[in-house]
């Protein structure tokens, strides 16, 4: 019988999702899909994920509440096919919308962490939608994930 649920390990970091299009991502534009993250039975089976966005703007964001939106696409057949890509430019896709990165109206580098978001034993791809009012810089924009698990004791 489980008497307590505790964190199994600290957040493991260093998993950068490859989304080259988040450099110079125009306002009101969706990025291309990230590289796939395999959380299937044959791979990781992690339970929770944090997302870290590192971003910068050449011109300070101008929207009233500037954000970069995070969307996810899932595959139930081992990564062969995924849900349709989310629509571009601020159209909330309901179940595909995972969270929002609130960005600050500055030109200095920003690091924002959101989550945790639950992970099912599936394959995932992620998208970013720039709703900040300005494009991101041409370099140094990354999306990383940190994985966490719970353990019954």
| Gap between the Cα atoms of 8 and 2, Å rounded | 14
Q: What is the mean pLDDT of residues 113-129?
A: 92
Q: Report the chain's mean pLDDT, rounded to a whole number.
A: 87
> Cis peptide leading into 116, omega within 30 of 0?
yes
pLDDT digits (tens, 9 = 90+) for 5-30: 777 766 665 567 877 789 999 999 99
Q: Which two tokens stand for residue 40?
A: 């299937």
Percent of the chain past pLDDT 70, that is, above it, reads: 92
Question: Which H or E element spans position 128?
Answer: strand 123-131
Q: Is 90 exceeded by the pLDDT of residue 60? A: yes
Give the pLDDT confidence score for residue 87 in this predicted structure.
77
Q: Which domains does the chain have, with CATH numbers?
A: 5-152 (2.60.120)
- The residue with greater pLDDT, 2 or 141, is 141
Q: Is 90 exceeded by the pLDDT of residue 151? A: no
Q: Which of 118, 124, 129, 139 is nearest to 35 (CA)?
A: 124
Q: What is the mean pLDDT of residues 102-130?
A: 94
Q: Decide: helix, strand or coil at residue 146.
A: strand
Angle at 128 between CA 25 and CA 101, to 5 degrees: 105
Q: What sign does the CA torsion over 63, 65, 66, 72 have?
A: negative
Residues counted in the chain: 153
- The residue with greater pLDDT, 101 or 140, is 101
Give the pLDDT confidence score for residue 91 in this predicted structure.
63
- The residue with greater pLDDT, 98 or 1, is 98
pLDDT digits (tens, 9 = 90+) for 62-81: 889 999 999 999 999 989 99
């Amino acid at each position: 019988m489980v008497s307590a649920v505790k964190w199994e390990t600290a957040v493991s970091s260093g998993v950068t999702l490859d989304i080259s299009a988040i450099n110079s991502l125009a306002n009101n534009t969706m990025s291309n899909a990230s590289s796939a993250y395999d959380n299937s039975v044959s791979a990781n089976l992690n339970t929770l994920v944090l997302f870290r966005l590192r971003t910068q703007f050449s011109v300070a964001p101008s929207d009233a509440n500037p954000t970069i939106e995070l969307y996810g696409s899932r595959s139930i057949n081992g990564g062969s096919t995924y849900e349709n890509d989310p629509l571009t430019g601020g159209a909330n896709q309901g179940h595909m919308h995972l969270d929002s990165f609130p960005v600050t109206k500055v030109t200095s580098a920003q690091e924002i962490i959101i989550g945790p978001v639950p992970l099912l034993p599936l394959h995932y791809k992620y998208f970013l939608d720039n709703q900040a009012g300005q494009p991101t810089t041409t370099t140094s924009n990354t999306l990383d994930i940190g994985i966490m698990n719970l353990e019954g004791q």
